[in-house]
Amino acid sequence: MKKWYDEEYEFTVEVTGFLRGDHTERYCRNGEEPGDKYTCTYGCPVNQDGQGICSKTMMMLYPLMEAVRSGGDLENLGGDSKYTKTIVCPDGCVMFRLTAKPLGNENFHKGGFWKEP
């Protein structure tokens, strides 16, 4: 892969707890545990070991990440602040906190990075 565009945001996704229960075995297929952290800019979030976040959870995260990238405020979607929101995985098991950090880079579309030179 040859990443050529410096993204506008870095995202952190942290496992904050379980909705029910207190362990991951027979509960979370991906093995998520409180304290697990995943990071990304545009690609899918991975942890420090290179393991990816649950694919079902990613389906929920992607629209929130796109909302931030397009100038949105996560408070308008039930977030704790402009750049943070807590979600529960689609299976109703694990709670995650999404946090966006602005990096100060130009927007992909407004900057015309998608245009051919």
Instruction: State residue 102's pLDDT score.
Output: 98
**Best CA proximity match to 33, nearest among 15, 6, 47:** 15
Per-residue pLDDT tens digits for 67-116: 999 999 999 999 999 999 999 999 999 999 999 999 999 999 999 998 88
pLDDT score for 96:
98
Task: Determine the pLDDT at residue 20.
Answer: 85
Amino acid at 47: N
Alpha-carbon separation of residue 65 from 29, 53, 79 (angstroms): 24, 14, 12
Q: If you write DSSP's letter for every residue of 34-101 in order, what string do you get?
A: TT-EEEESSS--B-TTSPBPPHHHHHHHHHHHHHHHTT--GGGGT-SBTTEEEEE-TTS-EEEEEEEE
pLDDT value at residue 22: 84
Integer angstrom CA distances of residue 103 from 39, 44, 84: 14, 18, 15
pLDDT in tens, 21-71: 888 888 888 999 999 999 999 999 999 999 999 999 999 999 999 999 999
Place 117 in a pLDDT band, splitting at 50, 70 and 90: confident
pLDDT of residue 21: 83
